[in-house]
A and B are shown apart, each in its own frame.
Chain A
Amino acid sequence: MKSSVITFPGSNCDRDMDVALKKFGFNNKMVWHNNNELPKSDLVVLPGGFSYGDYLRCGSMASKSRIMQSVINFAKSGGLVLGICNGFQILVETGLVPGVLLRNKYLEFICKNVFVKLDNKENAYFKNLNKDVMEFHIAHNEGNFFCTKDQLKEIKDNNQIAIYYCNSEGKIEDQYNPNGSIKNIAGIFNKEKNVLGMMPHPERMIDQSLSGEDGSIFFKNLINNIK
């Protein structure tokens, strides 16, 4: 299975994603933002970090990078595009997924483990997972998902909510919301469910010495779903 990770100036989780994808069997290529063409890929990942220093608005400049036109075309033709953290912010800026990501409610960067509830398994990312609640790691300053009421209705009607912040039992309540996201939303799909943007970093949880191993479960399942 072939994957591509895009490196923007200021990306800093690109290596971590490369390590994770290779560990679980992807043949991964790093792609420079200034390239025109995507290599042939089964999965494209927009990694975390601070593309363009988060200047102007997180993800906005990266969304206009040369490579992004190919990524958008790839997504529109049904290709799998996964945006993690800053990658999610970039996806939002391209309009591939709805909503915006505001500054965290308490105005502080948060780095910690959280639990998320999977809402929709009818997609390439979560299909066949035998877990409903996963422990992931977040590290962001702007992860406060927001959208209009109409958008929210549409997102719900189309089953576009991918994951919610919750507790270890899967309870979705305000107290388990780390950043003020509307309805505890931690990740979201496009209508077709081939594009997924999410704040948590599964690539930081890929062996037992790290913050946890639910990232391993996620990637193993993902590559099996693509095969």
Chain B
Amino acid sequence: MKLVLSSSPHQHVRRRTNQVMRLVIYAMVPGVMAQLYFFGWGVLVQMLIALATALVSESAIVALRKRQIGQALQDYSAVVTALLLAVSLPPLLPWWMTVIGTFFAIAVVKQLYGGLGFNLFNPAMAAYVMLLISFPAAMSSWLPPGELAAHAVTFGDVISVIFTGFSQSGYDINQLRAGIDGVTMATPLDYVKTQVSQGYTYSEAINHQQFTDSLWSSASLGWSAVALAYLLGGLVLIQQRIISWHIPVSLIAGVAVTATFLAMINGDVYGSALFHCVNGAVLFGAFFIATDPVSASTTPRGRLIFGAAIGFWTVIIRTFGGYPDAIAFSVVIMNMAVPLIDYYTQPKVYGQQRPVKQTEGEP
């Protein structure tokens, strides 16, 4: 009798790549819900546009590369990339920008590097950076959180603005951005940055209608809630062992330490650690972006370094750079450093005195 041969091990834990990806998508649900609540239907529309673009781009490129389309789509990696990008974009971004960004993420950043597992950069963040540099005004045009908005934006308005540039009532995006006081509203980070640059102190800056006047005085309305919703999803991911704790913890610690250090130097100019953590994309980035396994560091020590460095760069760029938020920039910067980090943080192998740092080339 002829027997069938296979290689050991003959047993596998039953969690496959697509299950991992699906779990990531599920973990995004609380954050997306919060975004829908505070920023309207735009998020959902952007997600759909990005998803469609991602699937089409992925299929096209995979077909060009003569690979199996079905297998490529089944791993859900393109879906995750599309969703991560979509939730990062301003809800009323013109549709074609989302399409360009998603296509760039899938086709250029991922597939041109060899597909899943081979991309050097985080696709969603690389695309976000590309869009931010190309269309800085549009990429900064966030609506004020619902409670503070002067104009109620209906689902029909959202569709209309995204695809035509004007709402059904004829308002354009800048008009829609006006707050209840009639002033065009910037994002909290942008607002504080502008105020501080105009000579106001940090505490004066956060004494604004955008910021809650509760214990969380430095937390902004809406934005902080969204951030905390993503934190919740992230904790689920850790609990499910989809991601390890290393990167989120070290990233948040990196932000906190850098921010505290700066605040200690001059608390009037630099925001507190809490301000930096709950505003902007730090929590979202810590759990959903920086933990992208493909482009992150893979060794335990390396992950700590990777996360902490992203946190550091985020605060530095937010404070001294030209953009209000900097998670995308920081992640892309540290993606470049990953091979180096991985090489120098190899764990000590059993029976070795210390990890071998071999020099290039055989002696």
Q: Do they bind each other?
A: no
